[in-house]
Amino acid sequence: MDEGPPPPPPAPRQARWADRWRLAWRQAQRLPLTMMIASLLTGLGIVQLSFQVVNSAYRSVTWSRETRDTRHRVQTLQRDVQVLKAVQANSSSPEYLQEQARCNGYVGVNERVVVARGAPQMTGEPCKTIRLP
């Protein structure tokens, strides 16, 4: 009675199943730690995103205010340039110089100063004074 070679033992198949079971058990044990790490990273991402949104809003408000202030300053400087150009254009005009001299209280060579004692008091300036920037 020769039976031939014996069949292979079933141990390797059981070993593979046992290895898979151990691996699955280790992964199941790590799951809470993995979930905590994922939750921490998600929280950090939310904090970073919130910071970026708030920072963008702050920059928008700040830049809008600075732009408005700069535009106001530019308008003021443009007005000053117009006044200076007008003064420069009129600086050689005899009429303008005479008007400015009268505003400062000067009289002409052929004129006399008359002071009326009973005259009402003047309020304000007698002439429109141009303030140079």
pLDDT in tens, 66-116: 999 999 999 999 999 998 898 888 888 888 888 888 887 788 888 888 888
Tokens standing for residue 35: 């979930």
With respect to residue 70, please indicate whether it lies within any of the assigned structural domains: yes
**8 Å CB contact between 132 and 87:** yes
Domain for residue 121, yes or no? Answer: no
H helices present in 91-104, as ranges: 94-103
Alpha-carbon gap, residue 117 to 121, rounded angstroms: 10
Percent of the chain clearing pLDDT 90 (strictly above):
34
SS3 108: coil
Q: Is residue 94 part of a domain?
A: yes
Residue 64 lies in a domain: yes
Contacts of 76-85 with C-beta under 8 Å, sequence gap 24+, read 80/133, 83/130, 83/132, 83/133, 84/132, 84/133
Domain tally for the chain?
A: 1
d(CA 72, CA 66): 10
Residue 109 in domain:
no
Q: What is the DSSP letter of 8?
A: P
Residue 69 domain-assigned? Answer: yes
Contacts of 105 (CB under 8 A, 6+ apart): none
Provide the residue range defining the domain that includes 36.
Answer: 11-103
The answer, as to whether pTM is greater than 0.85, is: no
8 A C-beta contact, residue 113 and residue 107: yes
In a domain, 90, yes or no: yes
pLDDT the model gives residue 9 = 65
